[in-house]
Amino acid sequence: MIALSREYIRTRIADSQAVYERGKKIYRFGSYLLSHRDLKKKEFIYRMDGNYGNYTTRVAFSDDMVHTACNCPYPGDGCKHIVAAALNARDILIDQGRQEDLFS
């Protein structure tokens, strides 16, 4: 199982430290809406306020992987929207008592 820590999100999901910091800002300021969550499947879909419109960001967790997608124009895989979504989804799963599923 992966250890889904903030460090993991910073080093393995975000494309860079700068992207991570931008994603943290989005997360802190709540510039998103959780539009769908399935706690059993550990799937989350967000609507993100973006610079050029709203974007859809998806984060899903399996035993050994984090699956992400975002339709923003950022050219990489680890955009700031994915960082914000992963941080929020992590907190939701911890709050729902699923910490052992993710952090064992």
First vs last C-alpha separation in the chain: 7
State residue 50's pLDDT score: 84
CA distance 72 to 37: 20
State residue 104's pLDDT score: 47
pTM confidence score: 0.88
State residue 56's pLDDT score: 97
Residue 93: closest CA among 84, 85, 102: 102
State residue 53's pLDDT score: 87
Amino acid in position 44: F
Can you list the residues of the chain whose pLDDT is less than 70?
1-3, 97-104
Q: Please, what is the angle between helix 17-29 and helix 80-95, to 10°?
A: 60
